[in-house]
Amino acid sequence: MNPNPEQWTRLLLVRHGESVGNLQDVWAGWSETPLSAVGRRQAADTAARLAQEGLGAVALFSSPLSRAWQTADVIGRALGHEPIVDESLKEMHFGDLECMQGRRFAEDHPTVYARWRDKTDEDFGWPGGETRRQFRRRVSEAIARLAGACNQQTALVVTHSGVIRMALAHLIPERFGAWWDVRVDNCSLTHVELGGSCRVRVPVVNDVGHLRQ
């Protein structure tokens, strides 16, 4: 038996449930859009699974945006945790393009769209919003802070698809561009494990096995 087994800090990243904005194909960013009826059911299903698995999470962190907070509140009630709001867990700020319809992005904003397609371009920025570099800094600082708060233990983090993708892109930078094309569905679970010497493991990405179809 290894007398000094390595200890890992585990962050379980949960995307919020389906929002009204998701139904409308709106890129909400920092704008408020509540959970839909399906999103509330997804949050309940996620809470039931997490309660059943008994992960022993020591804390529950949440973006302040209502779609994430409502999801975290349902989970917190099931696990006996009061969600801790962290402003840095908000979605990327789309600036002047907040609440645009995704399917019209290329047509309505061709110049921005052309540069957005290069997912390795960290200096790409939304007009009036954040650049990828600014977003990466915000997310990376949040991940480091939350990991430090639950050192060698497990924490739940309820946030947004962009934050989860950026966390993965930052932690595994050799695949920076590739992570932006990874699916992160509503109420999916993504596990990140942080060890000594800056080691990172990502054993689970976009687990939706607990959601009813």
- 48-60 pLDDT tens trace: 999 998 888 999 9
User: Is there a domain that residue 110 lies in?
Assistant: yes
Identify any residues that bridge with 85 across adjacent strands, giving them in sequence order: 62
User: What backbone phi and psi angles, to 5 degrees, belong to 50?
Assistant: -65, -35
Q: Write down the mean pLDDT value for the chain.
A: 94
Neighbours of 90 (CB within 10 A): 22
Neighbours of 101 (CB within 10 A): 12
User: Is there a domain that residue 201 lies in?
Assistant: yes
**Percent of the chain at pLDDT above 70?**
97
In CATH, what number is assigned to the domain containing residue 40? 3.40.50.1240
User: Is there a domain that residue 66 lies in?
Assistant: yes
- Amino acid 180: pLDDT: 85
**Percent of the chain at pLDDT above 90?**
88
Query: Any catalytic annotation for residue 16?
Result: yes
Is 3 a residue whose pLDDT tops 50?
A: no
Choose the catalytic residue: 18, 91, 130, 193: 91
User: Is there a domain that residue 1 lies in?
Assistant: no
- Domain limits for position 85: 9-207
Confidence of residue 196 (pLDDT cuts 50, 70, 90): confident
